[in-house]
């Protein structure tokens, strides 16, 4: 076949692979670049470069593999002299196409074709993207880390950089990121993203297979790591996508962000990505191991290839397993119209649609007051908006600003990775892949922002009633409507109160001296004075689920769970979720707090509640302290007796801000031990702090605050700050300080703390041996402090 005809056929294959079909009437032409682009992105200002750069970089690889070095070099040279950076939140995912480009460059380098500009581009545009991901991790699902590490290894091979190559191997085997082998695949083969959806799980597995194949070609066997762990992940994926049941366990991933999946993700089930051939060739043909599900899947793929049933995109080729679908009830939306009389606000129009539908549903927006910071240490009570809906699968959300135009939009928490796509100067749209509680902020304004509360749908009324009756409980139902009464609603023992979505109460739900009580549904209980909405006093075995309140204090109670509770307050001393003395076994899960004082506390004796406090856990939650602390521990107790506050865990928490002008009350993670208390065994794990307007990261003090205490504290012992992240303006000085030689702070450990992407530990590069690691926080370590340690990582796998 003539050389020019070969080139034309390669280019035609590329075009067909990108769904650009040539008909019999259309001439076959040489590949025409969409770029080159100076900046490549998947989101934001440069998002239009995504598809074109994917096509270009894949074309370079395909042409190189087909032996057409001149045409491949033309594409590479164009990008080598033009590409400056990858941009946007999803910049690490642009390394999908960068991997193709680097492979093309390596192929040609092995044939003696290479220029210095190629390596310059790698160092200028690709390696900094990898470094930025490293600085921010762990925060992503595992396919991100696997994609980044795959590109790192490819760059190392191209550059002949042995240190970079070894770092890719170390990351694969040991990194505390979802993209490492032990974090991504369990011993039974379940993947970190198996509960999310099948496309992303296969994307991550495919990247790991590429890493293993590259390492194998360099003489290193990563395929066999952890007793052939990757083979088990491939088989698990093949088995489920062929339509079979698989074992599934909800697990806590290493970021703490993705731990709410209770079953395999049906989204994309049966849509098979072309990732299975490499692992089968190695495990079955080289190691002679059995992979029955993968073998069956590859037989189906061969049939799809013969029939021309393979589809292609920028991420790879796919086909559908006959008879396997993701199900009809996957993408569902549940909305709750506001009742007449409820306080609404009309700054925004919010519309939602599930992925399976083209119909947009408008969601009502309520009004709440907050005590927002307006700069210079000042605060102002203002009105914000909030809305709520539930869903399964994933949904699109469109927000229209009705009264003002904007130039920029931001959706927080930043680490949740929800991208605001600006449609025009009054409208944004974003996608939620799982339930989140997020803040939509236009032009950085937090005085009139929109809070979007979402969750999985609650248990239905009939099912809840059946469960209550089987448990021997009374069942009370509040239908949608506006309940404008000042009376307190008192809930007796052995009662389930179901407050349906669309019910708005101006009363407080009081659980006093009761046991075995559940408040469930999707109601709102917000008295106009700005306090409470619910409280739990001297009670046990209590669940509050799905309620929007002002505040919800807990005192002298045991075995209490608050789940999907949202607290918004504006008045002075508007603490969100207080835990007072005499409490034990308290769990806060998926709560959201924006408060005009401490968001959550752990006190001992205080007000009418006496005794020590033990075993308090908050997890998977978002805190925003307009005033005072997001988390505050230890100041109140019985100085005459001496109380204990112990065994506290705060896990997977996003902190959206602190704006507290008083230095003594700063610290997003604050322990101020007074009143002869002892505070011990406290863990802050996977905490992400993204803005401190006035405040600091942490305070751990034994002190004598004469405003609120009658004695100094006895001591603080055994506190761990693990995987704490801060990104933002330089915070004020954090403080660790004891009181005297007998009332000390002892045993403070920082593990994996990162400040603006820099990992701080006692042996970090660039730190003189005589410098204190705490200075880099910045943090003052004062007198009467013992055994403070900064370590790089909490564990290595």
**Cα torsion through 498, 499, 500, 505, rounded to 10:** 170
CB 196 within 8 A of CB 433: yes
More confident residue, 425 or 27: 425
pLDDT given for residue 259 in this prediction? 78
Can you state the percent helix, strand and coil of the chain, rounding each to 5?
25, 35, 40
Please compute the mean of the pLDDT values over residues 353-358 and round it to a whole number.
Answer: 89
pLDDT in tens, 326-342: 765 678 999 999 999 99
Segment 680-696 shows an average pLDDT of 95
Q: For position 64, what pLDDT does the model report?
A: 94
pLDDT at position 794: 54
pLDDT for 23 beyond 70:
no
pLDDT at 28 over 80: no
pLDDT at 329: 63
- pLDDT at residue 253, rounded to an integer: 85
Does the pLDDT value for residue 22 go beyond 80? no
Q: Is the pLDDT of residue 10 over 60?
A: no
Q: Name the residue with higher pLDDT: 135 or 336.
A: 336
Query: Tens of pLDDT along 540-570?
Result: 999 999 999 999 999 999 999 999 999 999 9
Pick the CATH number of 3-320 from 3.40.50.1980, 1.50.10.100, 3.90.740.10, 2.60.120.260: 1.50.10.100
Per-residue pLDDT for 471 more than 70? yes
* Residue 684 pLDDT: 98
| Residue 47 clears pLDDT 50, i.e. is over it | yes
Residue 136's pLDDT band (boundaries 50, 70, 90)?
Answer: confident
Residue 267 has pLDDT above 70, yes or no: yes
- Judged against a pLDDT cut of 70, whether residue 610 lies above it is answered with yes
Sign of CA dihedral 657, 662, 665, 669: positive
DSSP 304: H
Over residues 734-784, the pLDDT tens digits come to 999 999 999 999 999 999 999 998 999 999 988 998 999 999 999 999 999
For the chain, give the mean pLDDT.
93
In angstroms, the Cα distances linking 197 to 143, 191, 193, 252, 263 are 12, 11, 7, 17, 10
Residue range 684-713: average pLDDT?
95
Q: Domain 332-447: give its CATH code.
A: 2.60.350.10
Q: Place 115 in a pLDDT band, splitting at 50, 70 and 90.
A: confident
pLDDT band at 626 (very low <50, low <70, confident <90, very high): very high
Residue ranges per structural domain of the chain: 3-320, 332-447, 551-791
Please say if the pLDDT value at position 667 is more than 70. yes
What SS3 class is residue 317? strand
Write the DSSP string, 654-681. Answer: EEEEEB---GGG--SEEEEEBTT-EEEE
């Amino acid at each position: 076949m003539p050389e020019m005809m070969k080139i034309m056929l390669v280019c035609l294959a590329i075009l067909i692979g990108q769904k650009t079909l040539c008909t019999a009437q259309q001439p076959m032409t040489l590949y025409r670049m969409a770029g080159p682009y100076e900046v490549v992105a998947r989101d934001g200002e440069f998002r239009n470069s995504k598809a074109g750069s994917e096509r270009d970089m894949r074309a370079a690889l395909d042409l190189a593999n087909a032996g057409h070095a001149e045409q491949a070099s033309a594409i590479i040279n164009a990008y080598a002299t033009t590409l400056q950076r990858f941009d946007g939140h999803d910049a690490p995912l642009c390394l999908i196409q960068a991997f193709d480009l680097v492979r093309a460059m390596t192929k040609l380098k092995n044939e003696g074709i290479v220029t210095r500009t190629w390596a310059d581009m790698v160092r200028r545009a690709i390696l900094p993207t990898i470094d930025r991901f490293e600085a921010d991790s762990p925060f992503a699902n595992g396919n991100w880390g696997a994609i980044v590490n795959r590109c790192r290894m490819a760059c190392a091979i191209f550059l002949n950089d042995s240190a970079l190559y070894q770092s890719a191997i170390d990351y694969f085997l040991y990194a505390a990121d979802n993209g490492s082998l032990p974090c991504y695949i369990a011993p039974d083969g379940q993947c970190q993203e198996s509960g999310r959806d099948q496309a992303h799980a296969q994307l991550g597995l495919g990247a790991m297979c590429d890493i293993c194949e590259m390492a194998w070609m360099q003489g290193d066997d990563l395929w066999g790591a952890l007793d052939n762990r990757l083979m088990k992940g491939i088989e698990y994926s093949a088995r489920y996508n062929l339509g079979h049941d698989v074992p599934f366990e909800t697990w806590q991933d290493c970021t703490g962000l993705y731990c709410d999946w209770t079953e395999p993700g049906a989204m994309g089930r049966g849509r098979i990505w072309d990732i299975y051939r490499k692992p089968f060739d190695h495990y079955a043909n080289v190691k002679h191991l059995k992979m029955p599900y993968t073998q069956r899947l590859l037989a189906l793929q061969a049939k799809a290839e013969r029939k021309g049933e393979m589809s292609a995109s920028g991420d790879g080729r796919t086909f559908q397993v006959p008879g396997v679908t993701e199900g009809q009830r996957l993408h569902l939306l549940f909305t709750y119209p506001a009742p007449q009389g409820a306080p609404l606000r009309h700054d925004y129009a919010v519309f939602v649609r599930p992925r399976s539908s083209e119909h947009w549903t408008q969601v009502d927006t309520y009004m709440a007051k907050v005590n927002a910071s307006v700069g210079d240490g000042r605060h102002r009570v203002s009105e914000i908006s909030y809305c709520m809906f539930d869903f399964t699968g994933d949904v699109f959300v469109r927000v229209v600003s009705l009264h003002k135009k904007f130039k920029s939009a931001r959706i927080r928490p930043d680490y949740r990775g929800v991208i605001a796509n600006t449609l025009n100067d009054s409208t944004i749209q974003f996608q939620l892949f799982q339930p989140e509680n997020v803040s939509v902020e236009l032009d950085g304004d937090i005085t009139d922002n929109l809070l979007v509360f979402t969750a999985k749908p609650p248990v239905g009324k009939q099912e809840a009633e059946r469960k209550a009756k089987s448990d021997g409980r009374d069942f009370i139902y509040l239908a949608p409507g506006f309940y404008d009464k000042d009376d307190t609603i008192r809930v007796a023992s052995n009662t389930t109160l179901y407050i349906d979505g669309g019910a708005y109460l101006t009363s407080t739900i009081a659980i006093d001296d009761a046991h075995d009580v559940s408040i469930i549904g999707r109601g709102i209980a917000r008295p106009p004075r700005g306090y409470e909405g619910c409280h739990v006093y001297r009670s046990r075995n209590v669940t509050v689920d799905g309620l929007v309140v002002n505040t919800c204090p807990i005192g002298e109670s045991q075995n209490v769970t608050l789940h999907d509770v949202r607290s918004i307050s504006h008045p002075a001393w508007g603490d969100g979720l207080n835990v007072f003395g005499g409490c034990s076994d308290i769990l806060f899960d998926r709560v959201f707090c924006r408060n005009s004082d401490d968001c959550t506390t752990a006190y001992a004796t205080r007000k009418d509640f006496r005794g020590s406090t033990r075993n308090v856990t908050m997890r998977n939650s978002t805190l925003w302290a307009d005033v005072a602390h997001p988390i505050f521990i230890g100041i109140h107790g019985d100085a005459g007796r001496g109380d204990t506050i112990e065994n506290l865990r705060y896990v997977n928490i996003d902190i959206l801000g602190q704006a507290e002008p008083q230095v003594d009350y700063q610290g997003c993670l604050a322990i101020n031990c007074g009143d002869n208390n002892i505070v011990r065994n406290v863990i802050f794990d996977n905490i992400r702090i993204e803005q401190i307007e006035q405040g600091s990261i942490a305070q751990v003090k034994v002190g004598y605050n004469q405003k609120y205490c009658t004695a100094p504290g006895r001591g603080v012992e055994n506190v761990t700050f693990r995987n704490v992240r801060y990104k933002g303006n330089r915070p004020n000085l954090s403080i660790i300080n004891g009181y005297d030689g007998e009332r000390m702070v002892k045993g403070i450990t920082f593990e994996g703390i990162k400040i603006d992407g820099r990992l701080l530990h006692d042996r970090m590069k660039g730190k003189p041996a005589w410098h204190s690691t705490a200075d880099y926080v910045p943090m003052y370590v004062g007198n009467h402090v013992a055994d403070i340690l900064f370590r790089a990582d909490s564990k290595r796998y």
